[in-house]
């Protein structure tokens, strides 16, 4: 359904029953906690960009031309790979993964992965997207099923990427006259961010160059795609500033993951990992005081005015109003980063904004993306690659952080029987079309039943999550 006056999808009012947990919690006296839509990262907002989502990649650049004996064949004979902690990989495993990943990015093999991840209308794989502009703002999926598809869709995406990377390493080794069968040993690692509290040392310099992406709306000046026509392609300029996002500068602690794993039903588990921030009760009084102080310090700021209005019980609870309030909350957080980039920043303003945010512990999905991406300290309107929906698959940390989210789900599945509540049409997943994945033996269609049968997956984890 589209709004014929704006060309943008209409907000599904049911979705924004989830709209603003963070903003509502500040105004506890103002009438309760309202859940918000999940905040992943960057998506199209108009039908022009959507029309360009079908990935267009020069098939002549694929490693296996039709007629090559390897074309359409999955690499390797092992029935099950073991996904290991990125911090505990051997030198040989690191080298193998890095060589495959750099080759795949440089050759453009991830371009179709970028395009499909950007295509939320076909894949319906996030409850809401953080758009590409600055300050960041969310826009919801059409139905709650978009959010419930998040974990199984990304599990199928991981399966496709691992198969493709094996083919990429097989291809590189053939070109370099090395053993192509080494590819059978490759696996996608996970990032145990909760225990590491930093990126693994070997990952920090792994910043692959190459690849292209579709231009979304509203890219800021300084981004590689800025100024190019929406729906056209641009060459990705890789960026990553880990931890350089003032209001998303800490990684999830183990006790938060423990509470997530403590949910008995899938919906509660999913909301905790992706939708609902925890309220840090001890910080709520300080957050309220900070909000009152901000009202005196920046009284004419329209985003702050909207947040203050939201704390009034009379504030409208319709979907559009709730969406506006949550986006105002994000905008106030962004103001701290803009202020910090000034030659003489207002340190008290930054402190007050951080105090408001200190009352919340945000879901791991959002935090892992935003913490990893960070913001350009000289131009905070530009975020790191892994926070833009249209280009993020070229950052290996995207796969590692989703491997970690998948490992948490995998751990939960070992002691629970709940599954995503999806109707038949939403319980089928094809992250890459058949023609996009054909060259490496991918482009499969996956059913929910096979994706939730973790014991029959093509991979397992070296260890499950422990608190």
DSSP result, 208-230: ----EEE--TTPPTTSTTTTSPT
Assigned token pair, 163: 């198969």
Q: What is the pLDDT of residues 111-130, one digit of tens each?
A: 999 999 999 999 999 988 88
Q: Which pLDDT value is given to residue 47?
A: 34
**Weakest-pLDDT range from 72-76, 123-127, 398-402:** 72-76
Per the prediction, the chain carries an average pLDDT of 87
At 120, list the tokens: 């939320």
Bridge partners, 234 (sequence order): 213
pLDDT score, position 351: 98
Residue 436 and residue 164: Cα distance in Å, rounded? Answer: 11
Percent of the chain with pLDDT over 70: 83
pLDDT of 1 over the 90 cut: no
Max Cα–Cα distance, the chain, nearest Å = 71
pLDDT band at residue 32 using 50, 70 and 90 as cut-offs: very low
Q: Which residues lie across from 279 on neighbouring strands?
A: 360
Distance CA 135, CA 405 (A): 26
Partners of 9 in the beta sheet? 2
The pLDDT of 196-224, averaged and rounded, is: 97
Task: Examine the pLDDT at 83 and tell me if it is beyond 90.
Answer: yes
Helix, strand counts (H, E) of the chain: 18, 10
Q: Which residues pair with 375 in a beta bridge?
A: 383
Instruction: Select from 466, 450, 449 the least CA-distant residue to 458.
Output: 450
Q: Which of 342, 307, 328, 330 is nearest to 383 (CA)?
A: 330
Copy the structure tokens of residue 452: 């939730």
Lowest mean pLDDT among 319-328, 360-369, 450-459: 319-328
Mean predicted confidence (pLDDT) in 20-42: 37
Among 79, 142, 114, smallest CA distance to 432 is for 114
Report which of residues 319 and 41 the model is more confident about.
319
H helical segments located in 61-213: 91-107, 111-118, 120-123, 145-148, 150-175, 193-196
Nearest to 175 by CA among 309, 68, 250, 314: 68
Q: Which domains are delineated in the chain?
A: 1-36+281-358 (no CATH), 40-269+384-461 (1.10.1280.10)
User: How much of the chain exceeds pLDDT 90, in percent?
Assistant: 77
Taking only the tens place, the pLDDT of each residue in 290-304 is 999 999 999 999 999
DSSP string, 356-367: HHTTEE--HHHH
Q: Which residues pair with 460 in a beta bridge?
A: 82
Q: What is the mean pLDDT of residues 260-280?
A: 95
- The pLDDT of residue 140: 85
Contacts of 256 (CB under 8 A, 6+ apart): 194, 278, 361, 364
Residue 187 has pLDDT above 80, yes or no: yes
Q: How far apart are CA 42 and CA 21, in angstroms?
A: 20
Average pLDDT over residues 218-229: 97
Phi and psi torsions of 217, nearest 5°: -70, 150
- pLDDT tops 50 at residue 433: yes
């Amino acid at each position: 359904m589209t709004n014929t006056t704006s060309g943008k999808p209409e907000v599904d009012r049911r979705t924004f029953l989830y709209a603003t947990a963070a903003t509502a919690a500040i105004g506890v006296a103002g009438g309760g906690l309202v859940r918000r839509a999940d905040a992943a990262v960057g998506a199209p907002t108009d039908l022009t960009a959507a029309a360009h989502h079908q990935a267009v990649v020069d098939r002549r650049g694929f490693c296996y031309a039709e007629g090559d004996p390897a074309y359409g064949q999955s690499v390797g004979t092992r029935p099950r790979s073991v996904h290991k902690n990125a911090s505990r990989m051997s030198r040989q495993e690191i080298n193998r993964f890095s060589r495959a990943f750099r080759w795949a990015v440089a050759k453009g093999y991830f371009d179709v992965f970028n395009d499909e991840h950007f295509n939320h209308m076909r894949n319906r794989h996030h409850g809401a997207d953080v758009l590409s502009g600055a300050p960041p703002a969310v826009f919801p999926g059409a139905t709650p099923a978009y959010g419930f598809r998040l974990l199984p869709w990304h599990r199928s995406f991981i399966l496709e990427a691992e198969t493709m990377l094996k083919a990429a390493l097989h291809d590189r080794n053939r070109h370099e006259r090395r053993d192509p069968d080494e590819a059978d040993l490759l696996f996608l690692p996970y990032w145990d961010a909760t225990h590491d509290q930093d990126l693994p040392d070997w990952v920090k310099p792994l910043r692959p160059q190459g690849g292209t992406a579709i231009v979304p709306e509203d890219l800021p000046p300084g981004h590689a795609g800025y100024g190019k026509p929406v729906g056209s392609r641009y060459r990705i300029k890789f960026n990553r500033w880990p931890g350089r996002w003032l209001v998303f500068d800490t990684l999830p602690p183990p006790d938060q993951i423990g509470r997530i794993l403590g949910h008995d039903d899938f919906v509660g588990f999913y909301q905790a990992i992706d939708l609902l921030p925890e309220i840090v009760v001890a910080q709520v009084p300080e957050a309220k005081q900070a909000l009152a102080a901000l009202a005196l310090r920046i009284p004419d700021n329209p985003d702050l005015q909207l947040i203050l209005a939201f704390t009034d019980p009379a504030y409208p609870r319709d979907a559009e109003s709730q969406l506006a309030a949550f986006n105002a909350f994000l905008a106030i957080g962004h103001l701290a980063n803009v202020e910090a980039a000034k030659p003489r920043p207002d340190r008290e303003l930054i402190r007050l904004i951080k105090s408001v945010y200190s009352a919340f512990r945000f879901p791991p999905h959002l935090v892992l993306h935003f913490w990893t991406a960070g913001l350009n300290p000289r131009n905070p309107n530009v975020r790191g690659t892994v926070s833009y929906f249209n280009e993020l698959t070229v950052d290996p940390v995207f796969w590692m952080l989703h491997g970690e989210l998948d490992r948490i789900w995998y751990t939960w599945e070992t002691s629970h029987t709940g599954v995503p509540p999806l109707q038949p049409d939403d319980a089928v997943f094809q992250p890459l079309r058949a023609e996009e994945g054909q060259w490496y033996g991918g482009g499969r269609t996956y059913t929910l039943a096979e994706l939730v049968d973790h014991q029959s997956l093509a991979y397992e984890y070296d260890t499950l999550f422990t608190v």
